[in-house]
């Protein structure tokens, strides 16, 4: 089995794709015994598909999945997870605001923790995005009863067992640490770096994501109260 699968959803990121590929390969080569890179094209309308295919032809460790249309980030994340073969799965965004070298900040914890969630401390975002993200995290934690500081951080590392336990619906990529806890796994947060976007534009829409995130949190909060966990007596 492959040791590590790196999954990144891609939507209209033609300006970042080659830098994304190079940064991941530079971060991983010589530091891990085996890896694969899964890049999920979520119905991009720019040249992302062409560039992704070029990279996949050049490097056999790269797998590309093309959606017929834009299905959203949760679908892209889940497709990448389901098509991965790694013992460990790392998630990151294609905008390169998270650094793939930070995978190795999370790696030391994975021997004793099932799910390691990145925590962005010095965020390179607009003030509005920072405030809305902080409010969103607070609301999600209040509703779900969780205490995750930065559930929306794209940088995550978790085991195959966690991946196999997940069943996602739209919007649930924001709740992966909470879902892992609900399924009986251990979760920890570890500080990671955050960088300014160099190319393209953010797909972040404050009002829409605030409302949708609130409704999704209600669903997760309800599910958390209904989750079934049991141990069989040995």
Report the CATH number at residue 33: 3.90.550.10
Q: What is the DSSP letter of 154?
A: S
Whole-model pTM?
Answer: 0.82
Q: Average pLDDT, stretch 132-156? A: 69
Contacts of 81 (CB under 8 A, 6+ apart): 7, 89, 163, 166
Does 233 map to a domain? no
187-196 pLDDT, tens per residue?
999 999 977 6
Give the model's pLDDT for residue 214: 67
Does 212 map to a domain? yes
Does 232 map to a domain? no
Q: Is the pLDDT of residue 154 over 60?
A: yes
Percent of the chain with pLDDT over 90: 62
Does 204 map to a domain? yes
For 143, the domain range is 4-226
Percent of the chain with pLDDT over 70: 77
Instruction: Give me the phi and psi of 119, to 5 degrees please.
Output: -135, 110
Does 162 map to a domain? yes
Higher per-residue confidence, 217 vs 168: 168
Q: Average pLDDT, stretch 204-229? A: 66
Question: Alpha-carbon distance 91 to 87, whole Å?
Answer: 13
Give the model's pLDDT for residue 148: 75
Q: How many residues does the chain have?
A: 234
Q: Is the pLDDT of residue 60 over 80?
A: yes
Question: Alpha-carbon distance 76 to 65, whole Å?
Answer: 9
Q: 171: pLDDT confidence band, cut at 50, 70 and 90? A: confident
Tell me what the pLDDT averaged over the chain comes to.
86
195 touches 96 (CB < 8 A) = yes
Q: Is the pLDDT of residue 93 over 60?
A: yes
Q: Is the pLDDT of residue 14 over 60?
A: yes
How many folded domains does the chain comprise? 1
Q: Average pLDDT, stretch 161-167? A: 96
And the tokens for 125?
């975002």
Task: Please report, to the nearest 10 degrees, the dihedral formed by the alpha carbons of residues 91, 95, 96, 97 taken in order.
Answer: -90
Does 234 map to a domain? no
Q: 234: pLDDT confidence band, cut at 50, 70 and 90? A: confident
Q: What residues does 91 pair with on adjacent strands?
A: 7, 156
Q: Is the pLDDT of residue 110 over 90?
A: yes
């Amino acid at each position: 089995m492959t040791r590590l699968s790196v999954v990144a959803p891609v939507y209209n990121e033609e300006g970042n794709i080659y830098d994304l590929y190079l940064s991941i390969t530079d971060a991983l080569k010589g530091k891990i015994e085996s890896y694969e890179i899964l890049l999920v094209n979520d119905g991009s309308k720019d040249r992302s598909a062409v560039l992704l295919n070029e990279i996949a032809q050049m490097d056999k460790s790269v797998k590309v999945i093309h959606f017929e249309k834009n299905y959203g980030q949760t679908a892209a994340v889940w497709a990448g997870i389901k098509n991965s073969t790694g013992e460990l799965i790392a998630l990151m965004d294609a905008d390169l605001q998270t650094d793939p070298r930070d995978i190795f900040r999370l790696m030391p914890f994975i021997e004793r923790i099932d799910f390691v969630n990145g925590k962005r401390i010095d965020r390179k975002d607009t003030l509005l995005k920072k405030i809305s993200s902080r409010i969103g995290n607070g609301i999600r934690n209040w509703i779900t009863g969780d205490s995750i500081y930065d559930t929306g951080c794209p940088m995550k590392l978790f085991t195959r067992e966690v991946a196999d336990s997940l069943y996602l619906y739209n919007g649930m990529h924001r709740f992966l640490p909470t879902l892992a806890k609900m399924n009986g796994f251990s979760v920890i947060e570890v500080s990671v770096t955050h960088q300014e976007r160099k190319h393209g534009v953010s797909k972040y829409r404050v009002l829409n994501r605030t409302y949708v995130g609130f409704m999704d949190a209600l669903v997760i909060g309800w599910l958390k109260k209904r989750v079934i966990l049991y141990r069989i007596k040995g």
